[in-house]
């Protein structure tokens, strides 16, 4: 009887685990961004890319291998790094979110704020250093409250910074806005 119960519990756990797990959502890049490329300092990416012309404009090395892709339409792109092939969805961003600290102390420089493109509730890749960079701005409520920290720039890729910091001066609210890919996101930060 004990052995039968043990088997029944094991079977129930296996069935519950199988029926209650959600399928993994495949990672996705945003239309209008880039994948691959490499850097000025370290050279081109070791990965190669393949996608139909309706999805990506592929950039090739002199040897003919694709090392970067500009994502121009929705669909799929395959990335092969060494012997590992990964397929990503390419979708159009419909919204955005600014991640970073919600509250700051006056006289302190914040951690980074970053724009995250979204399609529905799905986070998209592609807003990465050396690629597409958001246009950042501060609302009128920031006057005297906070300013953006110094932009160090991206020395290796030559691109602009994709994140920003705030230098908080005094208590109040400060609205940070970022626009990229035709999407604008705003977030109000409280300074204490």
Longest CA–CA span in the chain (Å) reads 75
Query: Which pLDDT band holds residue 64 (cuts at 50, 70, 90)?
Result: confident
C-beta of residue 189 within 8 angstroms of C-beta of residue 101: yes
pLDDT at 89: 95
Better-scored residue on pLDDT, 110 or 25? 110
pLDDT in tens, 14-43: 444 444 555 677 899 999 988 887 766 776
Instruction: Give the model confidence (pLDDT) of 68-78 as tens digits.
Output: 889 999 999 99
Q: How far apart are CA 104 and CA 111, in angstroms?
A: 9
Domains in the chain: ranges and CATH:
28-91 (2.60.40), 95-191 (2.60.40.10)
* pLDDT, average across residues 158-173: 84
SS3 of 26-95: the string is CCEEECCCEEECCECCCECCCCEEECCCCCEEEEECCCCCEEEEEECCCEEEEEEECCEEEEEEEECCCE
Give backbone dihedrals phi and psi of 69, rounded to 5 degrees, phi first: -140, 135
Burial class (CB within 10 angstroms; exposed 0-12, middle 13-18, buried 19+) of 63? exposed
What is the average per-residue pLDDT within 140-169? 80
The pLDDT score that the predictor gives to residue 36 is: 85
CA distance 19 to 71: 36
Q: Reply yes or no on whether the pLDDT at 157 is more than 50.
A: no
């Amino acid at each position: 009887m004990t052995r039968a119960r043990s088997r029944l519990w094991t079977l129930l756990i296996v069935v519950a685990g199988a029926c209650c797990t959600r399928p993994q959502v495949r990672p996705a890049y945003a239309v209008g961004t880039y994948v691959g490329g490499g850097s000025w300092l370290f050279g081109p990416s070791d990965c190669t890319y393949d996608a139909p012309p309706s999805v990506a404009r592929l950039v090739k090395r002199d040897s003919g291998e694709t090392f970067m892709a500009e994502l121009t339409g929705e669909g799929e792109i395959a990335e092969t790094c060494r012997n590992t092939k990964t397929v990503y969805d390419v979708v159009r961003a419909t919204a955005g979110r600014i991640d970073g600290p919600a509250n700051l102390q006056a006289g302190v420089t914040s951690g980074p704020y970053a724009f995250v493109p979204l399609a529905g509730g799905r986070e998209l890749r592609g807003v990465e250093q050396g690629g597409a960079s958001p246009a950042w701005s501060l609302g009128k409520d920031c006057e005297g409250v906070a300013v953006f920290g110094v932009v160090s720039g991206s020395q290796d890729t030559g691109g602009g910074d994709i994140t920003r910091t705030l230098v908080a001066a005094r208590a109040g609210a400060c609205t940070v806005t970022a626009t990229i890919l035709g999407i604008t996101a705003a977030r109000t930060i409280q300074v204490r």
